[in-house]
Amino acid sequence: MVKYVLSISELAKLKNVTSETLRHYDRIGLLKPDYTSESGRRYYSIRQYERLGTILELRQAGMSLNMIQEYLDNRNFQKSLSMLEEYQREFERKLQEQMQLNEALLRKLAFLRSLSDLPQMETVFEMEFPIRYMVTFGKEAGDREEHAMAFTKLENYIREKIPILASDRVGVIADERLLVPNDQLIPAVPMLLVSPEKADTTYLREIPSGKYVCMYYKNGVLEKYDRCFEKIKQYIQEKNYRICGKILQIYKIDVTLTNNAEETVLEIQIPVQ
């Protein structure tokens, strides 16, 4: 018997872990006690303190128990270096994903906080937009199910983390039929606003820069005429503007934020000259 041995509870206290954690490591063969007394009690050698420390450090770094077992088996310098390099690369990849998620949440929060500064609902205003970008398959949605399917496919296509929570980017592009009083859905093309550097170019399309006449309104529906459009039509007429492109409808507050239809907010953007 060596001079220093530790019971499960003693080693657990020394390394600030639970006795059950050590029992689990014993069951899976990761750290088995070195000695068994005549009464059947099991003890750890003080030399196992270092092995346990390595296990706990690797666990703190997020390494799985299976990978730790592989790391500890038949160790040599080159194997340890190679495994740690590979793990660090994977760790960095996951860290980048988490940073992207954090950036997306920060953008969403900044947008939501800015909603208090929006013009009043159904107030017409003008905006000069730079070139923007969208991904779209270019196919009109004929009904709500096609509409939902199109957005599902677009979200899958761009393969972003939390794409819809990233910002106010869900919408449709429509022609002037959207401005004609109608109780039915107006065929329009679903799209998602994107940053061009993060999108595959296959379905990437430009939204022209220029002057847009805009308005926010509540409780609206994509691809559907709203009575408040009469205000924006009157404004365009009074200014002697001409509609010169596709109309955009974009959700500002949607079902990702509220179940209350009265709280939903859309924006209509009409390009004019």
Is the pLDDT at 199 greater than 70? The verdict is: no
Say if residue 134 is in the same domain as residue 253: yes
Sheet-wide strand order for 5-6:
5-6, 42-45, 35-36
For residues 157 and 223, is the Cβ–Cβ distance under 8 A?
no
Each residue's pLDDT tens digit, 119-131: 788 999 999 999 9
Specify the number of domains making up the chain. Answer: 2
Percentages (nearest 5) of helix, strand, coil residues in the chain: 45, 20, 35
Instruction: Kindly provide the residue ranges of all beta strands, DSSP E only, lying in 136-194, ordered along the sequence.
Output: 170-174, 189-194
Number of Cβ within a 10 Å radius of residue 178: 24
Are 129 and 261 members of one domain? yes
pLDDT, residue 113, reads 82
**Domain end point (choices 75, 108, 126):** 75
Give me the pLDDT at residue 166, please.
45
Same-domain status, 247 and 190: yes
Query: Burial letters for 232-244: b for 16+ Cβ neighbours within 10 Å, e otherwise?
Result: bbebbeeeebebe
Residue 124 sits in the same domain as residue 259: yes
269/87 Cα distance (integer angstroms): 48
Whole-angstrom distance, CA of residue 258 vs CA of residue 256: 6
Evaluated on CA atoms 37, 39, 42, 46, the torsion sign reads: negative
Query: Looking at residue 114, what is its pLDDT?
Result: 79
Q: Which residue has the tokens 């401005």?
A: 179
pLDDT, tens only, 45-89: 888 888 999 999 999 989 999 999 999 998 899 999 999 999 999
Instruction: Flag whether 95 is in a domain.
Output: no
pLDDT of residue 145: 82
pTM over 0.85: no
Residue 90: inside a domain: no
DSSP structural state of residue 242: -
Assigned token pair, 260: 């209350």
Domain range for residue 13? 5-75
Give the CA distances from residue 30 to residues 54, 62, 82, 99, 239, in Å, rounded to whole numbers and listed in that order: 11, 16, 21, 33, 77
Structure tokens belonging to residue 106: 């920060």
Mean pLDDT, range 5-25, rounded to an integer: 91
The answer to whether 12 touches 22, Cβ cutoff 8 Å, is yes
Residue type present at position 269: Q
Token couple for 172: 């449709």
pLDDT score for 167: 54
Q: What does the alpha-carbon distance between residue 94 and residue 201 come to, in Å, rounded to a whole number?
A: 25
Which pLDDT value is given to residue 163?
53
What value does the mean pLDDT take over residues 20-44?
Answer: 89
CATH of the domain at 38: 1.10.1660.10
Residue closest to 214 by CA, chosen among 272, 268, 173: 268
Of the chain, the percentage scoring pLDDT greater than 70 comes to 95
Is residue 87 situated within a structural domain? no
